[in-house]
Chain A
Amino acid sequence: MRRASFVLAVSSVLAAALPGLPVQAQVTAGQGDAGHGRKLFLADGCYQCHGTSGEGGGVFGPKLAPAPLSYEAVLQQLRSPRARMPVYTAKVLPDAGAADIYAYLRSIPKAKPASEIPLLNLK
């Protein structure tokens, strides 16, 4: 954490688990494996900036879940990222992996409202 000025909106995945996956040219959101997506998400990558439930990491990574953007928008952000998020090419993250991660993000349930959490209503 030495270079504290580095502010990064990063989405990342564990590429180590990916090379064995078949590359699917056309993958849609509904085809993803949420369980595998969670493994990819947590193993070493995405959660670093976005949190284990995609809740976001402040200025370091925006909230991804629940209710993520459309799969197309997520894939677009991975392949041609805006802001300071690094690029994730299909070589590093095949479409199948991206779809699995997206399935995981979609599977994350809605959070309890703040009004029902006493610690978030402290004066």
Chain B
Amino acid sequence: MEDQANLGLRRRNFLKGAALSGVAATATAASTLAQAQPGPSQQGTSDPNTPRRQGAVTLKDESTPRNRELTYSSCGGDYMVDVMRSLGIEYFAATPGNTFMGLHEAIINYGMTTAPNLRFLTTMHEEASVAMAHGYAKIEGKPMACGMHTAVGLQHASMAIYNAWCDRVPVFMITGASIDATRRNLWVDWDHAAQDGAAMVRDYTKWDDQPGSLRAFGDSAVRAYKFAMTPPYGPTLLAVDTLMQEDPIPGDKPPPIPRLPSLSAPAAEEGAVRDTAKMLVEAENPVIFADRCARTPEGLRLLVELAEALQAPVIDSSNRLNFPWRHPLNQTASQRGLISRADVLLELEPGDPFAVSAERSPDGEVRSLMQSGSKRITISSVDLYMKSNYQDFQRLPLDVDLAMAADAQATLPSLIEEVKRQLPDSRKAAIAARGTRFAHTHQLALQRARDAATYGWDDSPISMPRLCQELYAEIKDEDWSLVSGTLFQSHWPQQLWSADKHYQYIGEQGGAGIGYTAPATLGAALANQKHGRLSVCINGDGDLMFGPGVLWTAAHEKIPLLYIIHNNRGYHMEIMQLQAIADRRQRGIDRVHIGCEIANPNIDYAMLARSMGVYGQGPIDNPRDLGPAIRRAIEVVKKGEPALIDVVSQGR
């Protein structure tokens, strides 16, 4: 039982007393385990420094250096900092853990004090570290680094890694590795060691390695970065020997830093591009569906160029800002009708290609929306790299005619060139007329959305369109960036706002893992900070409570962000689903709040924010109070600080 009690305390408390144990214990006469053991009176204490079992046997550990220097002037951690800096990495987000203390110390005393700066960001959960990196990458277009303690830290991080994997986002991750078992001094060092630590998340990391030397670390770091940044983007992981981080560099001469080459994304084969252009040019009703297509602002510009060349309607998923929301060819509101009438459907990086054209009837039958004889083409980098266990590759679409395994954004230039080359003058008038029609239907859709927004406009709890428009009124003349998804807000921003810059919207979680938005918005806001943008987010109460410590990180790191809580006081999706099941069983729904409701007591999010140093207002349930509250909060954000507003809102 005493051992069990110790188990629960072994991690964070360990830092208080033993953060440097790896250094100190080995630097002193740690060559005998017996010397580190306490006397009998200490047995059963909760101090994780206490060896779990007492034994009479004294083991001479021959592998431990006897004459280790008490001080030294070079270390592997500094070299690792230089390698990360050479890759352009600006931040290292982490909750501390003693298997990467050597690197931690190098970052704060070397990386943060010399140029170019590599800044340590303090998080309160490894899931937050990875999600911050996830959000950052979607704005900045490159990875942030994050560190995870071996075993327990990586276990915490795993869901966030899965989100990044599903969302095709690069993250550069490092976890410690206690490889030399004879230099583990305490029971906790054994609990926090793994023979193959990366195995746990290998199914949803793009690549991992455990480099055996500093020189190999340099190679592996460059390789990890390269793989992360080659479409399909994804998270990569290095398990780095704790002692390699901590120990002096042999001969005090660091290995050379390998050079990262310019990375070129894989474009589609020339013949397939030519055939696709021909089909698009000849089509009467071509439709473009864009999902994770625009990796960068250039992707958005290219998609506009393609759509305008064809005057073809674009359906933009909510996973990126692929296409301007108020562009006349943005026909997202008409997805179903367009696909059912399409004679050619071009899908760019579809996350769920099956669902794009599938329709499920009330009796459960699934059929394709597309008409007979129509052509369906996909361009997807995910076809180039996929794994087996987790099923994020989605159901196989049965009616695809041409599947190009390539990066869509990288393929767009040649496709645009082919379309323009093949477009006969005789088609230009008809194509222009098509554009005119779509401009009209776009305006109709906008008016329909405005009409729909009027219902419940003055209600309390506050309606989603009211919340979104009160926010938009205050930010529309700023250089704003919406750093949260919109699914849970019924996509009202896409329906009512105007956005034409890639950074103005970053999409959803990827793997639909909740707990993403609060930290991801923070990472995105950090990326926006240096560009002087106003970052805003609307996030559910349930998501924030997975890791409210991100509010402290926001205050501590002084990250300006307007954080609006969409407070529907529950895990709303689950309430709806539970209602459906209870109805089917005819048991009534009076108990479905159990396990789904976040009430009794209601959480005071403004007070929660203030307790962590974040400006907080609310709860606000009168829609008339919302505009003034947003204005006050924006003043705070403009001073470089985070601000939170708790808005008691409708479910959706």
- Say whether A and B bind each other: yes
Q: Out of B447, B459, B487, B588, name the residue touching A55 (CB < 8 Å).
A: B459
Q: How far is the CA of A61 from the CA of B575 in the complex (A)?
A: 13
Q: Is A86's CB under 8 angstroms from B583's CB?
A: yes
- Mark each residue of chain B from 427 to 459: 1 if its CB lies under 8 Å from any CB of chain A, else 0: 000000000000000000001001111111101
Q: Is B450's CB under 8 angstroms from A120's CB?
A: yes
Q: Is A10's CB under 8 angstroms from B589's CB?
A: no
| Across-interface contacts of A60 in B (CB, < 8 A) | 490, 576, 651-652
- Mark each residue of chain B from 557 to 595: 1 if its CB lies under 8 Å from any CB of chain A, else 0: 000000000000001111111011101101111101100
Q: How far is the CA of A1 from the CA of B465 in the complex (A)?
A: 20
Q: A49-B652, A53-B455, A111-B455 are in contact. Are A18 and B577 (CB under 8 A)?
A: no
B592 CB to closest chain A CB (Å) equals 8
| Across-interface contacts of B592 in A (CB, < 8 A) | 44
Closest-by-CB residue of A relative to B509 is A4
Listed stretches B88-96, B178-186, B467-475; interface member: B467-475
Number of interface residues of A (CB under 8 A): 55
Number of interface residues of B (CB under 8 A): 60
Confirm or deny: B221 has a beta carbon within 8 angstroms of a beta carbon on chain A.
no
Q: How far is the CA of A15 from the CA of B473 in the complex (A)?
A: 40
Q: How far is the CA of A38 from the CA of B470 in the complex (A)?
A: 27
Confirm or deny: B387 has a beta carbon within 8 angstroms of a beta carbon on chain A.
no
Confirm or deny: A75 has a beta carbon within 8 angstroms of a beta carbon on chain B.
no
Q: Out of A63, A84, A89, name the residue touching B452 (CB < 8 Å).
A: A63
Q: Is A122's CB under 8 angstroms from B472's CB?
A: yes
A62 CB to closest chain B CB (Å) equals 10
Q: Is A2's CB under 8 angstroms from B579's CB?
A: no
| Across-interface contacts of A91 in B (CB, < 8 A) | 586
Q: How far is the CA of A19 from the CA of B452 in the complex (A)?
A: 35
Q: A13-B589, A60-B490, A114-B447 are in contact. Are A3 and B577 (CB under 8 A)?
A: yes
Q: Out of A5, A17, A45, A113, name the residue touching B579 (CB < 8 Å).
A: A45
Closest-by-CB residue of A relative to B568 is A48
Q: Is A1's CB under 8 angstroms from B543's CB?
A: yes
Q: Is A89's CB under 8 angstroms from B586's CB?
A: yes
Q: Is B576's CB under 8 angstroms from A82's CB?
A: no
Q: Is A86's CB under 8 angstroms from B588's CB?
A: no
Closest-by-CB residue of B relative to A5 is B512
- Mark each residue of chain A from 35 to 56: 1 if its CB lies under 8 Å from any CB of chain B, else 0: 0000000001101110111111
Q: Out of A16, A65, A87, A122, name the residue touching B469 (CB < 8 Å).
A: A122
Output the residue of B463, B490, B576 with the most chain A CB within 10 A. Answer: B576
Q: Is A47's CB under 8 angstroms from B650's CB?
A: yes
Within 8 A of A (CB), among B532-551: 540, 542-543
| Across-interface contacts of A15 in B (CB, < 8 A) | 588-590
Q: How far is the CA of A55 from the CA of B652 in the complex (A)?
A: 10
Q: How far is the CA of A86 from the CA of B581 in the complex (A)?
A: 8
Q: Out of A6, A10, A82, A123, name the residue touching B498 (CB < 8 Å).
A: A123
- Mark each residue of chain A from 15 to 37: 1 if its CB lies under 8 Å from any CB of chain B, else 0: 11111000000000000000000
Confirm or deny: B513 has a beta carbon within 8 angstroms of a beta carbon on chain A.
yes
| Across-interface contacts of A123 in B (CB, < 8 A) | 476, 498
Closest-by-CB residue of B relative to A4 is B512
Q: Is A119's CB under 8 angstroms from B579's CB?
A: no
Q: How far is the CA of A5 from the CA of B593 in the complex (A)?
A: 20
Q: A86-B583, A111-B457 are in contact. Are A12 and B589 (CB under 8 A)?
A: yes
Q: A111-B457, A119-B470 are in contact. Are A58 and B652 (CB under 8 A)?
A: yes
Confirm or deny: B514 has a beta carbon within 8 angstroms of a beta carbon on chain A.
yes
Q: Is B651's CB under 8 angstroms from A2's CB?
A: no
Q: Is B488's CB under 8 angstroms from A92's CB?
A: no
| Across-interface contacts of B542 in A (CB, < 8 A) | 1
Closest-by-CB residue of A relative to B581 is A86
Q: A10-B580, A86-B580, A119-B469 are in contact. Are A2 and B490 (CB under 8 A)?
A: no
| Across-interface contacts of B466 in A (CB, < 8 A) | 119
Q: How far is the CA of A120 from the CA of B470 in the complex (A)?
A: 10
Q: How far is the CA of A59 from the CA of B488 in the complex (A)?
A: 10
| Across-interface contacts of A10 in B (CB, < 8 A) | 576, 579-580
Q: How far is the CA of A54 from the CA of B456 in the complex (A)?
A: 8
| Across-interface contacts of B650 in A (CB, < 8 A) | 47, 51-52, 55, 57
Q: Is B457's CB under 8 angstroms from A117's CB?
A: yes
Confirm or deny: B55 has a beta carbon within 8 angstroms of a beta carbon on chain A.
no
| Across-interface contacts of A49 in B (CB, < 8 A) | 576, 651-652
Q: Is B577's CB under 8 angstroms from A112's CB?
A: no
Confirm or deny: A104 has a beta carbon within 8 angstroms of a beta carbon on chain B.
no
Q: Is B588's CB under 8 angstroms from A57's CB?
A: no
Output the residue of A13, A45, A51 with the most chain B CB within 10 A. Answer: A51
Q: How far is the CA of A85 from the CA of B583 in the complex (A)?
A: 10
Q: How far is the CA of A51 from the CA of B461 in the complex (A)?
A: 9
| Across-interface contacts of B590 in A (CB, < 8 A) | 14-17, 44
Q: Is B574's CB under 8 angstroms from A3's CB?
A: yes
Within 8 A of A (CB), among B481-511: 487-492, 496, 498, 508-509
Confirm or deny: B362 has a beta carbon within 8 angstroms of a beta carbon on chain A.
yes
| Across-interface contacts of A83 in B (CB, < 8 A) | 362
Q: Is A61's CB under 8 angstroms from B652's CB?
A: yes
Q: How far is the CA of A61 from the CA of B451 in the complex (A)?
A: 16
Q: Is B572's CB under 8 angstroms from A1's CB?
A: yes
Q: Is B459's CB under 8 angstroms from A111's CB?
A: no
| Across-interface contacts of B508 in A (CB, < 8 A) | 4
Confirm or deny: B277 has a beta carbon within 8 angstroms of a beta carbon on chain A.
no
| Across-interface contacts of A85 in B (CB, < 8 A) | 580
Closest-by-CB residue of B relative to A45 is B589
Q: Out of B455, B472, B513, B577, name the residue touching A51 (CB < 8 Å).
A: B455
Confirm or deny: B84 has a beta carbon within 8 angstroms of a beta carbon on chain A.
no
A122 CB to closest chain B CB (Å) equals 6
Within 8 A of B (CB), among A83-123: 83-89, 91-92, 111-114, 117, 119-123
Q: How far is the CA of A19 from the CA of B573 in the complex (A)?
A: 26
Closest 4 CB pairs of A and B: A58-B490, A16-B590, A15-B588, A55-B455
**Pairs across A and B, CB under 8 Å, 13 listed:** A4-B508, A10-B579, A15-B588, A44-B592, A45-B579, A47-B650, A52-B456, A52-B650, A57-B652, A66-B455, A122-B472, A122-B496, A123-B476
Binding site for A on B (CB under 8 A): 362, 447, 450-457, 459-461, 463-466, 469-470, 472-473, 476, 487-492, 496, 498, 508-509, 512-514, 540, 542-543, 571-577, 579-581, 583-584, 586-590, 592-593, 650-652
Besides A45-B579, A58-B464, 7 more A-B contacts (Cβ < 8 Å) are A4-B512, A12-B589, A16-B588, A53-B459, A54-B455, A55-B650, A119-B473
